[in-house]
Amino acid sequence: MKRLMEFDATEKFLTRPLEYDTNILQKGGKYKVYKSAVILTPGIWHDMMTRADVKWSEIKIKAFATNWITDYINLGHEHHPTDFVGKVANPRYIDGALRGDLCINKNLSRGKDVIEGIDEGILNQVSVEVISEDYWDSNEMIRCADNLKFMGVSIIGPYPPPACKDVKIR
């Protein structure tokens, strides 16, 4: 039986290597698009903000997969205006993961650097930024994420290592 032992609505940064479908890249226009990138998978991931393990269930990720407040892509969880390099499009839950198309702006100098880093295999991790309401599951003795509100994705790496270890660019 699950009981609501505590309530914590905190911003989460869940980090994972970036994985995307290499067969369908869009190269024309303003953006280079990395289609169907893995953003978050179910599991127990370490929350950078609270420094606690949090369970992210498939049911909750599926239910809130399209609940995005903003769709930005930034660098290293920085929110300086020059650190915004693109947007997440078409977020959805498929193949056991929250996926989205990462649209990196080719007209920005930092966007060009990110594209080169991804294509060269230097940058290969993403970290989702999300607000959640956590509750304590007394049966499993762990915090569980609920009422997810996704804010964006951060390109990170290679350090710190990802919290959500299933994410890869390649």
Instruction: Give per-residue pLDDT as tens, 34-78.
Output: 999 999 999 998 887 778 899 999 999 999 999 999 999 999 888
Burial of 23 per CB tally in 10 Å (0-12, 13-18, 19+): exposed
Statement: residue 9 has pLDDT above 60? no
Residue 91: what are its φ and ψ, rounded to 5°?
A: -70, 140
Q: Find the helix or strand (DSSP H, E) in which 68 lies.
A: strand 68-75
Nearest partner of 147 among 130, 128, 132, judged by Cα:
132
Task: Say how many C-beta atoms besides its own lie within 10 A of residue 11's C-beta.
Answer: 15
3-state helix, strand, coil in the chain (%, to 5): 10, 50, 35
pTM for the model = 0.80
pLDDT band at residue 2, thresholds of 50, 70 and 90? very low
- Mean pLDDT computed over 149-155: 94
First and final CA of the chain: distance in angstroms? 40
